[in-house]
Amino acid sequence: MSDTITPFEAAQRSLNRSFLENDTLLSNAFWEELRIFLAVAKAKSFNKASEILNMSQPRVSRRVKRLQDMMGAQLFISTQRGVQLTARGKEVAEACARLDQFLYSLRNDLQSEQSQEAAIVRVSVTDGLAAIFLAPALLEFNARHPRIQVHIKSPENLISLRENATDMMVGFAHVAPSDVTLRTAGFLHFLPFASRGYIDLYGVPTRQNAHEHAFVQSEFYAARTGVWDSWLDLIANGRIAHYCDNMFTYGAVAKAGVGIALLANYNAIEPAAVPLDLDVRIRIPMSIAAMTERLQSKPVRLVFEWLAEVFGRDNPWFGEKMVLRSQCENADAGFRQLFNV
């Protein structure tokens, strides 16, 4: 008897059923509970989640308890700052995020089948980079690819693409998971700046008189990873006037003359901003990360290549060496347009 002969026939319906014939498919009553669970996980509060969902707080609590009972595991623990996910809760949240990303990608791919260059491509990028460099470049991109819509989002996570639930991101990762494609881009250069108004009031800051000056600090520059050490050592000798984690506001605080701030080199375009020689020069490599599977879609590939071009080393502000003048009108256009310089 041949080993290639199948022991069953297609006509045997009980042995040859489609998964769609499974009576229990989507029968578990936890889809609504998962939506509520995610709202609580994002808000870190039952009260805030109830406001977002337009539900009563007791109803939200009951649904989460029901989900926990069905899962057989505690998903949240209470803290002084609200609620936080347990290890099991984090697993459930990550699984939901992966499902959301898959469904979004599936929808986009189905739409793209009708046209090889029609799709919405989600990109996470910091607000400053998006406003100063990405927004001005959109005009030319639109002319080349009028049917591709770019959805620009502020990143929830500056390191992990998956945490942002977008197709790609402009970030700072050096290594990536196996399902992520990473493309090296240019460099962000940082140095201290003060406004002319600040210098008129307090004099020119130097390394020797740093203890007499005020600084503006941000959570972005707080990590002791070795990258920000020269800045952290500098401000340790002075006085921190204020903290600010919104980078547009951070620059505005410095421009108002409140203190010395660590800003990207392209802020030198601003006539009122004075770059300072305080032995602080920081260079951070940028990268473009994309979900490898999504790059099979032509619109996603086109946006990926475009981002690599916009934030590549051919832009003088993102070159290997720090410059304070770009000598390139196109490279300065976004900053000048945004700040009416």
End of a domain among 78, 93, 108? 93
What CATH number is associated with residue 39?
A: 1.10.10.10
pLDDT at 108: 63
Whether residue 19 is contained in a domain is answered as no
8 Å CB contact between 269 and 335: yes
- How much is the pLDDT for 158? 82
Is the domain of 119 the same as that of 161? yes
CATH of the domain at 231: 3.40.190.10
**Inside any domain, residue 89:** yes
What residue has token string 């998006």? 130
259 shares a domain with 137: no
Closest to 126 measured CA to CA, from 256, 281, 283, 245: 245
Pairing mode, strands 180-195 and 282-291: antiparallel
- 300, 153: one domain: yes
Which residues, in sequence order, are bridge partners of residue 197?
Answer: none
Domain shared by 57 and 121, yes or no = no
Do 153 and 232 lie in a common domain? no
Residue 58 neighbours by CB under 8 Å, 6+ apart: none
Closest CA to 152 of 182, 130, 180, 185: 130
The residues that bridge with 194 in the sheet, in sequence order, are: 274
Cα–Cα dist 16/323, whole Å = 68
Same domain? For 77 and 101 the reply is: no
199 occurs within a structural domain = yes
| Regions of the chain with pLDDT less than 70 | 1-29, 105-118
Range of the domain at 82: 31-93
Question: Is the Cβ–Cβ distance between 88 and 74 less than 8 Å?
Answer: yes
Q: Answer yes or no: do 136 and 169 share one domain.
A: yes
Specify the pLDDT at position 119.
80
Q: Which two tokens stand for residue 105?
A: 């990608």
Tally of domains within the chain = 3
Q: Do both 218 and 141 map to the same domain?
A: no
CB 304 within 8 Å of CB 121: no
**Does residue 230 share a domain with residue 101?**
no
Q: What is the pLDDT of residue 1?
A: 46
| Residues 288 and 304: beta-carbon distance below 8 Å | yes
- For CA atoms 34, 38, 41, 44, the dihedral sign is negative
Does 156 reside within a domain? Answer: yes
Question: 73 and 211 share a domain?
Answer: no
Dihedral sign for Cα 174, 179, 185, 188, please: negative
Three-state secondary structure call for residue 217: strand
Residues 99 and 161 in one domain: yes
Residue 83, domain member (yes or no): yes
